[in-house]
Structure formats: C-alpha cells, structure tokens
Structure 1
Amino acid sequence: MKKFGPGLLVAAAFIGPGTVATASKAGAGFGFALLWALLFSVFATIVLQEMAARLGLVTGKGLAEAVRASFHRPELKSLSIFLIIAAIGLGNAAYQTGNIAGAALGINSAIDVSNQLAAGIIALLAFALLASGHYKLIEKALISLVVLMSIVFLLTLFWVGPDWLGILKGLFTPSIPDGSVLIVIALIGTTVVPYNLFLHASSVSQAFKESGESDIDQALSHSRWDTGLSIGFGGLITLAIIATSATAFFGQSESFQASQLAQQLEPLLGPAAKYCFALGMLAAGLTSAITAPLAAAFAVCGAMGWSTDFKNRRFQFIWFAVLLSGAGFAIAGTKPLAAIIFAQAANGLLLPLIAVFLLLAMNQERLLGNYKNGLLANCLGGFVVILVSCLGLYKLYSLF
C-alpha cells in the first residue's frame, strides 16, 4: 500500500472552506490565543484517525459496520444505529451547507455573481460528479489545488513576519478569552471531522485490499506514517491561516467579514491573491462537497446493514439527500461565514458521540484480536472525549 493516500485525503477533507473560514475568524478575533486549541485538535485527529485506519485494515469493515457488530443486545444495537444516523446523516447535512457556501465564497471572491447562483453551480457540479461515479478522476487534481493554496498560506506566513514568540505562547498556553468558546469548538470540529473517521476506515480498507498486500503489520506502519505526516501538514496549514489572519486583522475595530478572507494573501500575491484564493476555496469546497455526502452514505448504510455499493439505490438516495439539504440552505441565502462556523461547531459537539462509538469498537477483541486498543490508546482517546465533552457542556451551560 502506498505510504501516502487515505491520510492525505483526510487532511484535504479538513483543509476545506470550514478550516479557512474558522481559522481566519479565530486569528482575526483572538490573535494567537486559540492556537492551543489547534494543537490539541491535531493531536486528537491523529489519535482517532489512527484508530479508524487500524480498524479498517484489520477488520476490512467500515466504522459503522464495526459498531453494529459490537453490540449483541437488540436495544443497544438499535440505539447505536439511531445515534450514528442522527450524528452523521444530519450532521453532514449541516456540514454540507458550509462546504457549498465556502466553495461559492471562492467563486464570489473572483467573479461578481450572487451567492445563490454560485451555490447552485457548486451543488450541480457536485451532483454531476457523484452521479457519474467518476469523481475519483478529479480527486487528485482537487487535492493538488488545495495543497497549492495551503503552500501559498505557508509562504505568506513567512512573508508577513508574524510574532513568533506570540505564536509559541498561543500554542502552549491554553486560554479561553471572552466569547471564544464557540470558535474553540469550531476549530476542533473543523479539524477532528467526525465523518472522516468513517471515510478513513473505509478508504484504508479498500486501499489495502486493492494493494494485494497480506502483511498487516507493515500496512499499519505505512498507515501511521501516512496519517501522522498528512494530518501534521494539515495542522501546519491551519496554523499559517490563523497566524496570517491575526497579523492582518487582529486588533481592528471593524468586525471580520467573509469578503476579507482573500486579503490575507495579498502581501505575497498582490492583485492575484483573490484568484489564487478563489481557485483554492473552490477546490477545497468541491472536495468536501463530494466526500461529505459519500461519508454519510457509507455511515448510514453500514449502520443499517445495507449495501455500500455505489450503485445501490439506498446508498445513492442518502448522498443525494445530504447534498440536496446542504444546497437548499446555501441557495436560500444563509450567510457563508455564519453557516461555516455553525457547521464546524456542530461537528465539535457531535465528536464525543462518534469518538465513544469508535473506542467501543476498538476494544472488541473478537473484531481486532491482538490489534485492539491498549491502555495508552484508550487513555488518549478518553482524554479527547472528556475535553471535547467539557467544552460542549460549558457552551451549552453558557446559553442559559
């Protein structure tokens, strides 16, 4: 199996419009103060995605199928099925709104068209690619464009010369400034994307089968390198976006607007910034607009025990429903930045539920044998669940 594959797809999926918008909002509103949340998010993503990949390699199953197989009592199995459908099916519908709105934002930054028209074009393009079944033909091209935009953000970071000591302080000194809890949860939700756990398990399993390899230990080693380096690179990109936004916008009296996103690249690219940003956001949004409905279909069909074949009518209905709901809210005129932040925060609130299901599956000896979680993996996974749950409960408490 190639060393770099599914992990890079996961990284490209979370470096989408949500990451750009949320990270920009975090930097513009709170400077470097929330970088610790990004560091935690990268750590949590590597821990959980390694488990998902190990599950897919060893069992040959997706996460939803493994969770279904983990429960024997009918009432517990029914509850797990309901919760997976609610969390991933409905959660991805919200996430899809942000994907389409973000891709439309990319179009709007270069061409003067309405948000509704741009969102409709993105939705139709995503539908055409999914319906044709040939979306993988352009997957590498889309990922390449996302990586290109990411590299530009990195170069811009060094070009603008941020306060490096301030960055280090933000990374290793946790703080929650007034009004930042929702952004903290959104930062976690845009990095530790719940549907990526389903996507990673299925894609790693498929890649292993197609490779013809039989040495699981070697495949696990490759997968861990793939996961760690790919997600680490994604975290570095997010750090660059936060830092450039903080350098450009933090401390200004005016509130940060979606129209200002491309301005972060102007110190390096000048007038060409909006076109580079538009291309990158379009690619990032379209990549996520394809993967999110697919992941929802894999999760729901796996939980229900239905076929996950791409040509199966139930599978097609689910991805179409997720795509349609996301397109509907985006075309209805939902503010792009607000929709994206809301979707990432919803992901952050759903994460503990999906992480608990993953931990339950990873402790099933009859599924994983000697490859089940050890004490260290369970402690790390439990730490992630507890911290994210506490943040979510704190946010809910603050509303009352």
Structure 2
Amino acid sequence: MEQPTSKLPDEPRRRRTSFLRTLGPGLITGAADDDPSGIATYSQVGAQFGYTLGWTIPFSYPLLVAIQGISAGIGAVTGQGIAQNLRRHYPPWVMRFAVLLLLVANFINIGADLAAMGAALRLLVGGSQLFYAIVFGLICASLEILISYRHYVMALKWLTLSLFAYVAVVLAVDVPWTTALRGAVIPQFAFDSDHAMALVAVLGTTISPYLFFWQAGEEVEELHRRHLARLATHTRAAGAELARIRTDTLFGMGFSHLIALFIIFATAATLHANGITQIETSAQAAEALRPIAGEFTFAIFAVGIIGTGMLAVPVLAGSAAYAVAEMFRWPEGLDRRPREAKAFYATIAVATLGSVVVSFTAFDPIRALYWAAVINGILAVPLMAIMVMMVSSPRVMGRLTAPRWMVLMGGLTVLVMALATIGFLVL
C-alpha cells in the first residue's frame, strides 16, 4: 500500500506536541523543587565542598522519582489527595499531625522564598527588599486565585524555563568538566557534622512533603479536566494515564536534578575556587558571583531566583491549601472558581501573604530554613512510609496497586531519609 508521504513531515511535530501535553504536574513539581531556598542549599554545597558532593544529586533522583510517582498514583487512582486518604484510612490524629507540620514548614519556606526574591530584585535594581517581597506575594496569590486552572498551569509550565538561567551561568564560567563529572558519579563523603548536614540539606530540599501533597492534588485536577473521577473506576483509561504520569514524573524530576547539579557546578567553579565557602541565602550567592564571574553571570543568577520563586511559592501555598481543604472537607481545586471554593483560596492567600511576615522579623534566614528542614524531615519519613503502605494496598488502590519496584524503591527512600535525619540530629 502506498504511504501518505505528504503527512510524514508533520509526524515529528505531532510527537513533540504530544510529549509537551504529557508534561504537567510532574514537570511543575520538579521545577518547584528548585526554589530559592533550594538554590541557597545547592549554592552552599558547591561553595563549601566544591564538586565532591555533586553525586548527591543523581543519588537522590531515583528516590524522588519513586516517591513522587507514588504521590501521583495515589491522587490519580483514588481521585483524592494525600490528606483525604489519610483521613479515610488512618486515625484522625495522623492527618492532623501531618497537615500541621506541613503548614509550619510551608509557612517558613514561603517567607524565605519571598525574602530571597525581594533581595534578588534589590540587587538588580535597588530599592526595598521588604516592599518587593510584599509585591511578589501579592502577585503570586493573585495569579493563583484569579487565573483559570488551564491558563494557570500553562503559565507555570512557562515559568519552568527560568531554570535555564543556571544552565547559562554554567556556560558562562570556566568549569573543569573532568573534575565536575567525577564528583557527580563517584561518591565522596566524610562522617562529620558538616557532611552530614550537607547531605540532609540536599535530601530535605529535594524530597519535601509539600511536593507530595501538590502532585497528588494536581493529578486529581488533571482527572477532572479529562472528566474522570478516579482511575480505580476507569480502568480502561488507567494504562494511558499512568503512562503519562510516569513520563511526566521522570522528566520533571530529571529536569529539576539537572538544574540542581548545574547550580553546584557553577558555585564550585566560582565561589569555592576563590575561597568563598559560606553562603547563607540564594541572593548572597548571586552577589558573591558579581566580582568573580562578572555582571552577566550575577544578573542571570539573580533573575533565576525570581523566576523559580514565582513558580515555587504558588506550589507551596497550593499544597497547604489542598491539605487544609481535605482535612476540613472544604470544596477544593484550582479548577473551581473562587466563589465555589472560598476557604480553599483563602488558605492560599493567607499562606502566601501571611508568610511575608518572615521578611519583617529578625529571624536568621538560615536558622529558619534549618528548622523547616528539621520539620520536613520529621514529617517526610512517617508520611512516606504511610504512602508506601497505601500504594501497595488493594483496599486503597483497588486493582491498581503500585508495581513491586516502586514499592521497594519507596521503602528505600524511607530508609535513606530516616538514616539521614537521625544522622543530622545526632552528629
């Protein structure tokens, strides 16, 4: 049979379009993982240890993929978020404890991110850091509340491009690639407090509970957009949807980790190489780059902080809103209009704008993030253990329980995070 050759040139374009449509909650979740607080963590690791802890990024990649895949699967298969499933299948205090710790950690993280965004803009144009933090808070809350879900998700997808700023930074500086790649693939570690804190900081920044709540909630939103209630009752659509989730999560977390590795490379090649080994904030990392790597590199790094903050703050606030709404059984979802989910959107506004208070306090930002990391560590380990049990339970997932490899990898993630948190608290 003669082939319709006239249509062949359109085939690659259709494949690209199909792939881009596949990307959504996983890509946004992964990109939000590189928030200004995360940038500060990766910058400190690169400044303090050079390239030697680069391996922590590829090491954490399969762990994050597994746990985010579990989160997404729970949301898609059950049609409910993490907090709702905790309420349905476990004692009420488990859900309340998880939501309370999530709110405290997210509140600190949002405040630190808004402060970092304000500081980055002040470095670029001058003015008041506090004023800029308030403006960024208002913008983030307004966009999340007033824009329709479809357009809002598209805006977040475009914001992920801001992470390429750190690719540009690496290309603008002199990186000894042999040394850098060796640090990324050959583990080097000393059992002391500095290395233990750095390892927990990377794992705590990378594997954070707010990402679990957000991706599960977003998968529920995606089902609603496709007019599906839950995959457990739509088994014909389950194969395609779970394949989409797998591709989206693999790509999104891979993109996030590649950028994290580039940030370590950039600060190792500039700050560490010039004897600067202590970085307290992402804005301080940008400022330290100016005399070493030039105005262009400094500006790109600072702009990246603002872009990633614009992406991460709505995710942090949104994950808090999903958790609170599920706990109190309020109407929820970014696909609803504000008047249809008043309490849900009010939680987003309070979480975002209330966190600006952190910028006005005398709290040491590093100390605040330290306690946020501790809270995340305390919450992440038992929450992940419960999620692994959920995703392997026919009572919760029906016939769509997770494959054995995902359950085993999820269990390994729990073990690694537990040991890292214990080491962090003991050393």
Same fold (TM over 0.5): yes
Alignment partner for residue 279 of structure 2, among 256, 261, 265?
Answer: 256
- The aligned counterpart of 1:89 is 103
- The aligned counterpart of 2:221 is 206
The one-character-per-residue Cα deviations of 1:291-313 (angstroms, maximum 9, x if unpaired) are: 21111111122133333255434
Mapping for residues 34-53 of structure 1, pairs under 5 Å: 34-53=53-72
List alignment gaps of at least 5 residues for structure 2. 1-17, 229-235
The one-character-per-residue Cα deviations of 1:328-363 (angstroms, maximum 9, x if unpaired) are: 112325455554555345434432132123113213
**Matched residue of 1:121: which SS?**
helix
- Contact 1:99-1:289 within 8 A present in 2 as well: yes
The one-character-per-residue Cα deviations of 1:87-125 (angstroms, maximum 9, x if unpaired) are: 212221122122212221321220222332222222222
- Contact 1:359-1:381 within 8 A present in 2 as well: yes
- Root mean square deviation, CA, Å: 2.8
Mapping for residues 240-251 of structure 1, pairs under 5 Å: 240-250=262-272
Mapping for residues 217-228 of structure 1, pairs under 5 Å: 217-228=239-250
Residue 269 to residue 220, structure 1, CA distance change in 2 (3 Å): farther
- 2: CA distance between counterparts of 1:147 and 1:341? 28
CA positional deviation for 1:147: 2.0
Quick check: 1:127 aligned with 2:151? Answer: no
CA positional deviation for 1:384: 0.9
- Contact 1:115-1:333 within 8 A present in 2 as well: no
The one-character-per-residue Cα deviations of 1:179-237 (angstroms, maximum 9, x if unpaired) are: 13223222112222211111111212221332357521111112101110121111011
Residue 135 to residue 291, structure 1, CA distance change in 2 (3 Å): farther
Alignment partner for residue 113 of structure 1, among 127, 131, 134?
Answer: 127
- The aligned counterpart of 1:331 is 360
Alignment partner for residue 77 of structure 2, among 55, 58, 83?
Answer: 58
CA positional deviation for 1:26: 0.6
Residue 268 to residue 223, structure 1, CA distance change in 2 (3 Å): farther
Residue 87 to residue 178, structure 1, CA distance change in 2 (3 Å): closer
The one-character-per-residue Cα deviations of 1:16-67 (angstroms, maximum 9, x if unpaired) are: 1122111001100111222232223222110011111122222211121122
- Contact 2:144-2:152 within 8 A present in 1 as well: no
Residue 134 to residue 207, structure 1, CA distance change in 2 (3 Å): closer
Residue 275 to residue 345, structure 1, CA distance change in 2 (3 Å): farther
- State percent identity of aligned pairs: 22
- Contact 1:22-1:340 within 8 A present in 2 as well: no
* Residue range with higher mean Cα deviation, 378-387 or 230-239: 378-387
CA positional deviation for 1:10: 0.6
- The aligned counterpart of 2:37 is 18
Amino acid at match of 2:315: T
Structure number with bigger Rg: 2
Mapping for residues 172-321 of structure 1, pairs under 5 Å: 172-176=186-190, 178-212=193-227, 215-250=237-272, 252=275, 255-256=278-279, 258=281, 259-262=283-286, 270-309=294-333, 311=338, 312-321=341-350
Residue 208 to residue 267, structure 1, CA distance change in 2 (3 Å): farther
- The aligned counterpart of 2:178 is 164
- Contact 1:145-1:279 within 8 A present in 2 as well: no
Residue 113 to residue 344, structure 1, CA distance change in 2 (3 Å): farther
Query: What is the TM-score of this pair, normalised by structure 1?
Result: 0.87
- The aligned counterpart of 1:74 is none
Residue 153 to residue 254, structure 1, CA distance change in 2 (3 Å): closer
**Matched residue of 1:215: which SS?**
helix
The one-character-per-residue Cα deviations of 1:157-192 (angstroms, maximum 9, x if unpaired) are: 345222434432443315145413223222112222
Residue 61 to residue 253, structure 1, CA distance change in 2 (3 Å): closer
- 2: CA distance between counterparts of 1:136 and 1:106? 30
* Residue range with higher mean Cα deviation, 304-313 or 53-62: 304-313
- 2: CA distance between counterparts of 1:275 and 1:250? 19
- The aligned counterpart of 2:24 is 5
**Matched residue of 1:307: which SS?**
coil
List alignment gaps of at least 5 residues for structure 1. 72-76
Instruction: Tell me the matched-pair count.
Output: 392
